[in-house]
Structure 1
């Protein structure tokens, strides 16, 4: 599916450095990268800070002096993440977004990661993304992403079902740890049940008429950086970026209102907030597409139904992802528990969203 992402001509090339960085003892490898990227920095004076928010990769900030002004981020890919993340596609997405001023500068790739510019600002929390002052910035920024043409004349197709099928094939059927194994058999739906749901999702959602656009696909709070000085938001981390249904990207973001470390689905945005968010989004999307900004109530209602139904696919997708991570990841996070949360919410939400009706 990577060939659907077309990097525009004239976009700066990204050097690939033959360096491997050890995730446990990262300083030596990181310094080799800094020597190439910042040759004027004295290795003995380079400071490093490990960021612990991410649950896919390890992220290290390298800088000089007392304050983190100019920072080179070194991201080391998580163990076995190449099984479910298309790294070539990620770099292409990064370059496309950079060309459209939607992403920080990508400095280089290396054998097991990449280096890029650090965006100054605040990584958001669930309480921020539901505040009107912030979500009125997030909605048009996502519309800007969705309006980007990066398919070189192809009719873009969503790779959601392809990815979901791939994830499903990687889901573990048992764990070495007996306690985990017991939880898997007791709390996670059976393989047959998951397969049936996946088929049902494809049949139910593919025909909803949601446009296929360039999506971020992982718009959780920590991937949104609020720049207080400019009063703007930027999105980071494009591992899962690609062509997908517009409504999926928005529904996925709405699911993230619940948070990550202490998940609370009562925080899922209520109808009034969603309708305001979606109207702002559609006005910006139309403007980026060169269309009149006017948005009818019917257009907002249609998107509302599409988004809430595609939120189901988001729960299912990340449920599968978490099961794979529970098998392979070296990051200290209860991935199995997270999978259980996502599947439970999927089954709880399913009758509610399928009862929603499109406007006459």
Structure 2
């Protein structure tokens, strides 16, 4: 079948087995050749995504043809029996974790977060969890396109969704240490890598020309002075992780935030800044390096304010007051805009390091090293836009070659950030 050609036999067999074991019912009654699987993976995604489905002529009950079932279900007794038996879905989303996902506590935390969100109906239904991935409810939908992020109405809805996500109270560590952890982990891993092919070697030489350790220390000093509130952050709110369900209208209930593998308690403005920088990046390019980055597409001040005002309005509707945000609305908006300037370069630096690691371990066809170089260049561009009065106080020492890591080693729970 045409849809199966893009999926290798090993993957199809694994998927078939998982669906039989975790879904049961009619899934155990179909042969491998009747099992449908379609690859949905796109762009720089860490994980692989597939739609697994029953053959069109099968039903989630009894294995009867659908025409027969339509007739049988008119009988009230059989209709009641159907309601009791149709527990397994006809199609599901299979998520297979990528290589970088298996570091540290990531698989456990991701499973906990997804389970909690699923129970609260903030995420698709969870059907099965196993070491290599999970089975989720498949929601007919499509990911947003990059150009749609600048649509004012959609931008307001995304802001409201993100505000709701930020108000989730989960039994996880409230200390905002995610950025510290990924900065160190991905920095150490990335700079210890070697590449065999000439192309990646050249890109690595280009990257190593930057003093990345000095920039990492600068970022930690920058973070130590943030006044951003701490919220439960998505940390990867880009168009590929925002689904528009069936129907092209922009009604709020039709937008869903997905993919929580990087979610954690974190600084609020990182999520906003990270979303804004994604306006500049398109991952649906068919030719190598399979992405484009257009700095001119970064949202203007007015476009950012549309998002920020909708975000704050959603908080007010939920009856939420976030410490650290005070004064009149104009002051609050300006304070957020300033903090966004702090976190834009941080976003670029973090995902550039991530991409170097991906270039070594990922099997996804994507220009990871080109992406890393592009994001490092954007890091320096956005770094230059940070207001002078926001720069770390030790910056003048750094410019004279003095290395002072006191700020980077300061316990983050002693920094000036407040958990909402």
Q: What is the CA–CA distance in structure 2 between the aligned matches of 1:79 and 1:61, rounded to whole Å?
A: 20
Out of 217, 221, 224, the residue aligned to residue 242 of structure 2 is 224
Which 4+ stretches in 1 moved above 6 angstroms? Answer: none
Match of 1:175 in 2: 195
Query: Judging changes above 3 Å, is the alpha-carbon distance between structure 1 residues 75 and 270 closer, same or farther for their aligned structure 2 residues?
Result: same
Match of 1:88 in 2: 108
Q: What is the CA–CA distance in structure 1 between the aligned matches of 2:360 and 2:159, rounded to whole Å?
A: 35
**Greater Cα shift, 54-63 or 122-131:** 54-63
Match of 2:52 in 1: 62
Q: What is the CA–CA distance in structure 2 between the aligned matches of 1:355 and 1:23, rounded to whole Å?
A: 54
Q: What is the CA–CA distance in structure 1 between the aligned matches of 2:35 and 2:333, rounded to whole Å?
A: 51
SS at match of 1:25: helix
Match of 1:323 in 2: 356
Q: What is the CA–CA distance in structure 1 between the aligned matches of 2:214 and 2:161, rounded to whole Å?
A: 35
Question: How many matched pairs?
Answer: 333
Output one character per residue of 1:76-118: Cα deviation in whole Å (capped at 9) or x when no partner: 1123531377111111111222233221112111121111111
Q: What is the CA–CA distance in structure 1 between the aligned matches of 2:179 and 2:318, rounded to whole Å?
A: 24
Q: What is the CA–CA distance in structure 1 between the aligned matches of 2:208 and 2:389, rounded to whole Å?
A: 25
Q: Does 1:262 align with 2:280?
A: no
Match of 1:244 in 2: 266
C-alpha contact (below 8 Å) 2:101/2:107 kept by paired residues: no
Q: How does 1:91-102 map to 2 (within 5 A)?
A: 91-102=111-122
Match of 1:35 in 2: 20
Q: How does 1:267-278 map to 2 (within 5 A)?
A: 267-278=297-308
Output one character per residue of 1:271-324: Cα deviation in whole Å (capped at 9) or x when no partner: 1010111011012123334459x9601101101111122111110000000000
Q: What is the CA–CA distance in structure 1 between the aligned matches of 2:24 and 2:143, rounded to whole Å?
A: 26
Q: Which TM-score applies when normalising by structure 1?
A: 0.85
Query: Judging changes above 3 Å, is the alpha-carbon distance between structure 1 residues 71 and 141 closer, same or farther for their aligned structure 2 residues?
Result: same
Match of 2:207 in 1: 188
Q: Does 1:48 align with 2:37?
A: yes
C-alpha contact (below 8 Å) 2:41/2:50 kept by paired residues: no
C-alpha contact (below 8 Å) 1:70/1:118 kept by paired residues: no
Output one character per residue of 1:200-250: Cα deviation in whole Å (capped at 9) or x when no partner: 111112322101111111111111001254823101111111111100011
Query: Judging changes above 3 Å, is the alpha-carbon distance between structure 1 residues 128 and 301 closer, same or farther for their aligned structure 2 residues?
Result: same
Q: What is the CA–CA distance in structure 2 between the aligned matches of 1:313 and 1:85, rounded to whole Å?
A: 23
Q: How does 1:1-360 map to 2 (within 5 A)?
A: 25-36=10-21, 37-41=23-27, 42-44=29-31, 45-54=34-43, 55-66=45-56, 70-83=90-103, 86-151=106-171, 155-171=174-190, 172-185=192-205, 187-190=206-209, 193-229=211-247, 231=251, 232-258=254-280, 259-260=282-283, 261-291=291-321, 296-355=329-388
Q: What is the CA–CA distance in structure 1 between the aligned matches of 2:9 and 2:358, rounded to whole Å?
A: 18
Structure 1 or 2, whichever has the larger Rg, is: 2
SS at match of 1:101: coil
Match of 1:8 in 2: none
Q: What is the CA–CA distance in structure 1 between the aligned matches of 2:371 and 2:104, rounded to whole Å?
A: 17
